[in-house]
Amino acid sequence: QLISERFGRGSRTVDLELETQIELLRETKRKYECVLQLARALTNHFYSLVQTQHALGDAFADLSQKSPELQEEFGYNAETQKLLCKNGETLLGAVNFFVSSINTLVNKTMEDTLMTVKQYETARLEYDAYRTDLEELSMGPRDASTLCRLDAAQSQFQSHKDKYEKLRADVAIKLKFLEENKIKVMHKQLLLFHNAISAYFAGNQQQLEQTLKQFNIKLKTPGAEKPSWLEEQ
């Protein structure tokens, strides 16, 4: 019956500022999900690229040994591909850290706040239902039986009002902390992403490794068959 009240009849309690913030959070989450999806696609394509560069490096090295007349040409190509693989694996470590952090922000931190938002929205709906009940009873004729029902309605109204207000405060606080946390996390991750990508695509191995150190990213088992970053996907 609460739902039917929402269509057309009945007044609705609106906290405009809070609802604007909630809508904004939902939109931000959608946009960050899109970035997350793209960053994962980037990781996958890049991983395939590095694997191919690895195989190509091997093929060139083999041909360099077996083609005296093109030994040098195959040789420098083999070395370039191998160097790119090494740098590529380092970059994969950085991009994977980016993906993992954005994933936590979107699917844990933001999701947690949106769970509270859902509780808040349910509490708002219930509160409005009991409020409407009370208002209707108050406007009706008063006798002993209605007075008793009025008392019960008043008590229901009050307890749901408290619950609603508590959750509204919870949501407001969570939104505030989330906003601070989001800015902190994204500031760090966007800086890392940019610095790692820039260093890699400028061929600056040293700066790339420096960036990983700066952000405390450790490359697990370098050179292992299946890079560790895949496990977290």
Amino acid occupying residue 231? E
For residues 81 and 179, give the distance between their C-alpha atoms in angstroms, rounded to a whole number.
Answer: 43
Question: Minimum distance from CB of 29 to a second copy (Å)?
Answer: 12
* Contact pattern from residue 45 through residue 84 relative to a second copy, giving x for each residue in contact according to CB under 8 A and a dash for the rest: xx-xx--xx-xx--xx-xx--xx-xx--xx-xx--xx--x
Contacts of 174 (CB under 8 A, 6+ apart): 112, 113, 116
203 is an interface residue for a second copy by CB under 8 A:
yes
Question: Minimum distance from CB of 216 to a second copy (Å)?
Answer: 19
For residues 11 and 221, give the distance between their C-alpha atoms in angstroms, rounded to a whole number.
Answer: 61
**CB-wise, 73 or 151, nearer to a second copy?**
73
Longest dimension (CA), the chain: 110
Three-class secondary structure of residue 202 per DSSP:
coil
**CB-wise, 38 or 152, nearer to a second copy?**
38
146 is an interface residue for a second copy by CB under 8 A:
no
Question: Minimum distance from CB of 211 to a second copy (Å)?
Answer: 13
Amino acid occupying residue 185? V
With CB under 8 A as the rule, give the number of residues binding a second copy: 45
Site for a second copy in 81-120 (CB under 8 A): 81, 84, 87
Scanning 114-122, 169-177, 191-199, 220-228 for contacts with a second copy by CB under 8 A, the matching segment is 191-199
Taking residue 154's Cβ as centre, other Cβ atoms within 10 Å add up to 15
* Contact pattern from residue 164 through residue 183 relative to a second copy, giving x for each residue in contact according to CB under 8 A and a dash for the rest: -------------------x
Question: Minimum distance from CB of 78 to a second copy (Å)?
Answer: 10
Q: What is the DSSP letter of 140?
A: S
Three-class secondary structure of residue 14 per DSSP:
coil
Tally of CA atoms within 13 A in the half-sphere of 80 that contains its CB: 8
Contacts of 76 (CB under 8 A, 6+ apart): none
Closest CA to 188 of 160, 209, 217: 217
187 is an interface residue for a second copy by CB under 8 A:
yes
Which residues of the chain form contacts with a second copy (CB under 8 A)? Answer: 28, 31, 34-35, 38-39, 41-42, 45-46, 48-49, 52-53, 55-56, 59-60, 62-63, 66-67, 69-70, 73-74, 76-77, 80-81, 84, 87, 183, 186-187, 190-191, 193-194, 197-198, 200-203
